Chain A
Amino acid sequence: MAPTTTMKPIPTDGFPTPTSSAQAETVKVLLEHFVAESSVPNLQKNAHMQFLMRNLSQGFPQRYTSQDASQPWLMYWTLQAFSVLQVGLDPGNKQNAIDTIMASQHPDGGFGGGPKQAAHLLPTYASVCALAIAGRPGAGGGWDQINRDQMYKFFMSLKQPDGSFLVAHHSEVDVRGIYCLLVVATMLDIITPELVEGTAEFIASCQTYEGGFSSASQPYYAPSNSDKPTLLGSPRPALGEAHGGYTFCALASWVLLQPFLPSTSTKINKKALVRWLVQMQGAPVELGGFKGRTNKLVDGCYSWWVGGAFGLLESVGIDPAAVSSSVRSDTQAEDGDWDDVDDSLLNRKALQEYILFAGQHPAGGLRDKPPKPADSYHTLYCLAGLSSAQHRVFPSAARRRDLLDSWTDTVDGGDQEAEAKENALRKRIFVEALSYTQEEGTETVVGGAVNRVNATHPIFNLTITHSDAMMAHFYGQVLPPRTLQRPAQT
């Protein structure tokens, strides 16, 4: 079909380079998959479920050997994709999942990429999240068999003087590992000021001049009078350019570190971050998918890593809905109903179209882009991106109040002052993490209700139900019921 008039080609200024040539080829393939805005395909839920189920019951084909050190990820991607598709597992498969995940717990703390592999921060996140979905409290349920004391020791053993963490012993530092560590420590109630000292400064140092974040930064030290050399604030160069995956991990880490940050401490450049995030959305000829770096190609997985990152902006004080309605009417007068309720900064409609037109493999499962095959990783991150483009999940003041009201302190009978301080911090961490609430009535589902998927927690990438249940267990809290949250009338 002929592209619509809004579909301008990507300008090349009569100066082709390898980047623009690769870009042109991709656009050509994407446009072949674009039918018409008026005939958006359905989300092939059944085909995707079959794809996921096949891997789960029959096993992953031999080419997945490259993921042998990421087995908890294969499990998490599969289980969470089911959750987004609104599918639960039967008790037998759930138990099997729990037993399989627990086989990768390392005796010295943390989880490995498979049984008898070394512990590593990435599979530790994947294991704990998979347990949030499939597990339960009590004997054999997984949750109470997580060795939290050993896990904390494992985390501390990875800590570096610049506030960062190795992903595993003798391994690299990068912000993915820090995100994984902070999510797990937050969910399991083992996060402490000692654990995260200096981590926010490290995260901030990974922000590049483009506004997004890189994998890591290089610390420099000056000798000092004490045994410990002094860490220099500058130079502390970012290693690698701004990147979608690292940016999501850095931003989500930044949000999780908020309870530990004095208001005057290190800052990130939010304005530059927002600009970078919106610049990652591809043009109409790229069907509005997201790319992971400047001048790279769109890829379905960035639907979540970049598209999903927009769901964290309100938590760092960027709230497009906050600007007064009188100013808004000036610019949105001629727009339809959709735009009246949509305050997001990304083009949610276009992102959904990319996933539906280009992200779905005809044989089931989702993918980077055509003509690539589907895989578990892209299946989850396309679906999670679709979810974040459909739903507004926001830190709700009402939910925060309910959680504060229902909170009960843990009393161990130790030093009262220390205990009070500890409880106050735990309360804040708990309340902030679980204040995320799905706003009812503002879904923007392209292709109609049949394409609707579940909402997912913008930090954890678990459903709200799974996040609630696991954190309530580890913090020893009884949660107040969730009520429907309608958007505030202005």
Chain B
Amino acid sequence: MPAPETAAPAKLKYAERPEWADVEPLQQYEIANPLAPILYSEEYKDATDYLRGIVKAGERSERVLELTEHVIRLNPAHYSAWQYRYETLVALSAPLDVELKLMDEFADKHLKTYQVWHHRRLLLLLTRKPAPELALIARILQRDEKNYHTWAHRQWLLAFFNEPSLWEGELDFVDTMMNKDVRNNSVWHHRFFVVFQSGVREGEEDRERILKRELIYVKQNISLAPNNASAWNYLRGVLEHTRQPFGSLAAFVQPYTVPLPASTTDIVDLENPPPGRDADLPCAAAIEFLADVYEERGGADNVDKAVELWRSLANEHDTIRKKYWEWRIREALATSS
């Protein structure tokens, strides 16, 4: 853990500063010996004593902004300091561009903290200027490609403001991130959000075409790295969302369920891109998919084929999930008999 930073090094404690003399600092505990106390630094204790004093007095002033910034720098998860800061900014009609600039720095330093992102959101609800935000988010995601809050923030921004210009570059952004790491599940989720879950935008009305585009996209990515759970989950998600039978993909999936053939053909089949030469086959996700195809088709013969595949997962290809595959077998047999 990095050492706590100081907003103003070598600055006097609040207790020693005449301009704070009118504030009565408030100790945290009134009881004598709290159990399991945190052993704070002197600086933190001093600053939070004054924060408690300010909150009790209900003061809204410039110096409250200084104090809350100080506390937040020492502990960015101090949600009460954030809350009080936000209310003070509003009460003072403080310049929000200045605050956002400060927040750019915080987003870089404390990108894993809920409050940093939520405070930005509150500010954006006031400024109503979402456009510059996308570039900042993209920059943060270059550094921390799977940051949950950052992705959720981007999705909120797009969905809430819902301006065509904001959505314009989104699929290109997905591609950029996907090219860095095709196994980044956050990127796959973002693609699903953009394509299927946020309404139909201009130019995307032909859903047949969109479905075809997405299937080609995911199949090519599976061909690139077959044992990528994110891609298979996306494929399943697309089919379920658009109510397409899994069976429509059987021809594509089949070659992934068996060992790699000794010689591969060089025919380029865009509909059914084959596994690459370095693929680790058979691929458990493909076997699972094919079993689902058989189960979907129904009838005793097909269920038998599905059971055989599940058994190969349980006993050979995916033994950690043995119990689950055996349950799938029992369920399928119970419903088919």
In the complex the two chains form, is B156's CB within 8 Å of A218's CB? yes
A59 CB-CB contact with B under 8 Å: yes
Q: In the complex, what residues of B have CB within 8 A of residue A332's CB?
A: 326
Proximity bits, B319-337, A CB within 8 Å = 1, else 0: 1111110110111011001
Q: Mark B213-256, 1 if CB is under 8 A from A, else 0.
A: 00000000000111111100110111011000000000000000
**What B residues does A65 contact at CB under 8 A?**
4, 38, 40-41, 44, 74-75
User: In the complex, A120→B280 CA distance in Å?
Assistant: 49
Min distance, Cβ B76 to any Cβ of chain A, angstroms: 8
Give every chain B residue within 8 A of A168 (Cβ-Cβ): 79, 83
Residues of A within 8 A of B156 (CB): 218, 239
Query: Given contacts A216-B152, A294-B185, are A11 and B36 in contact (CB under 8 A)?
Result: no
The complex places the Cα of A294 from the Cα of B185 at a distance, in Å, of 6
- Judging by beta carbons under 8 Å apart, are B278 and A13 in contact? yes
Contacts of A117 in B (CB 8 A): 79-80
| Closest chain B CB from A71 CB (angstroms) | 7
- What sequence of 0s and 1s flags, for each residue 372-384 of chain A, a beta carbon within 8 Å of any chain B beta carbon? 0000000000000
Asked if B227 and A11 make an inter-chain contact with CB atoms under 8 angstroms apart, the answer reads yes
A6, CB-defined interface residue at 8 Å: yes
Q: Which of B8-16, B127-135, B164-172, B191-199 lies on the face that meets chain A? A: B191-199
How many A-B residue pairs have C-beta atoms within 8 angstroms? Tell me.
262
Known: A19-B181, A218-B155, A294-B230. A66 touches B77 (CB 8 A): yes
User: Smallest CB–CB gap between A328 and chain B, Å?
Assistant: 6
Chain A residues in 8 Å Cβ range of B56: 116
Contact call A241/B189, Cβ cutoff below 8 A? yes
CA distance in complex: A279, B233 (Å)? 10
In this complex, the interface size class of chain B, counting residues with CB under 8 Å from chain A, is 35 or more
Q: Answer yes or no: A317 CB below 8 A from chain B CBs.
A: no
Q: Across the two chains, which residue of chain A brings its CB closest to B4?
A: A65
Is residue A439 contacting chain B, with contact meaning CB distance below 8 A?
Answer: no
Interface check B305, CB cutoff 8 A: no
Interface on chain B toward A: helix, strand, loop, or mixed SS?
helix
Closest CB-CB distance, B48 to chain A, in whole Å? Answer: 7
Among B31, B182, B233, B278, the residue within 8 A (CB) of A103 is B31
Per the 8 Å Cβ criterion, residues 77-105 of A in contact with B are: 78, 93, 96-97, 99-100, 103
| Range of interface residues on A (Cβ < 8 Å) | 35 or more
Rounded to whole Å, the gap between the CB of A302 and the closest CB of chain B is 14
Does B276 lie at the interface of the complex (its beta carbon under 8 Å from any beta carbon of A)? yes
Given A18-B145, A68-B38, A116-B26, do A295 and B159 touch, yes or no (CB 8 Å)? no
| A274 / chain B contacts, CB cutoff of 8 Å | 324
Q: Considering the complex of A and B, which 3 residue pairs feature the smallest CB-CB distances, nearest first?
A: A14-B278, A209-B237, A11-B280
Which residue numbers of B lie inside 8 Å of A, CB to CB?
1, 4, 26, 28-31, 33-41, 44, 48, 52, 55-56, 74-80, 82-84, 86-87, 114-115, 117-118, 121-122, 145-146, 148, 151-152, 155-156, 159-160, 180-186, 188-189, 192-193, 196-199, 224-230, 233-234, 236-238, 240-241, 276-280, 283, 311, 314, 319-324, 326-327, 329-331, 333-334, 337
Query: Contact residues of A with B, CB < 8 Å?
Result: 6, 10-15, 17-20, 55-56, 59-71, 74-75, 78, 93, 96-97, 99-100, 103, 112-118, 120, 168-172, 208-210, 214-216, 218, 220, 235, 237-243, 272, 274, 278-279, 281-284, 288, 293-296, 320, 323-324, 327-328, 330-332, 342-347, 350
